[in-house]
Structure 1
């Protein structure tokens, strides 16, 4: 059985419900996607952080994303 996905917010130990797919266009190719995982409580704040920098590309349910683990 796979390990439970955890929120990427600093100090948070909650289960991740969302995957925030992002890239930094200054250093990543357009198709590259990095992943931050978010619980329900941190989905908006992590998304806002990435969106303010124009890094946020997509938000998907965490269960649908291959995190490479």
Structure 2
């Protein structure tokens, strides 16, 4: 945690977390999406999802025409 994080009271999570509001569960899925009105077709945005919220987040993106695909989330070398 940096000095500035300690002042704000917010520290980065130790493990990547689900993107669903108020969920602190560990991420298991990577939902890839883009907004065609804003992003070029090759640009993909990513939300992380836990098992419980995967379907909810996919549905949210599908209804808006943003959903592209879901793949298992594998943390990178700097993530636990």
Mapping of 1:53-64 within 5 angstroms? 53-63=64-74
The alignment's TM-score, normalised by the length of structure 2, stands at 0.75
Stretches of structure 1 that go unaligned for 5 or more consecutive residues are none
Q: Which residue of 2 aligns with 1:30?
A: 41
Count of residues in correspondence between the two structures: 64
Instruction: Tell me the TM-score normalized by structure 1.
Output: 0.86
1:40 to 31, 42, 51: 51
| Structural RMSD (CA) | 1.6
Q: Report the Cα distance in structure 1 between the residues aligned to 2:63 and 2:30, rounded to whole angstroms.
A: 17
Structure 1 residue 4: Cα displacement: 1.6
4+ long deviations beyond 4 Å: none
Work out which structure has the larger RCO, using CA pairs closer than 8 Å and 6 or more positions apart in sequence: 1
1:20 corresponds to: 31
The structure whose Rg is larger is 2
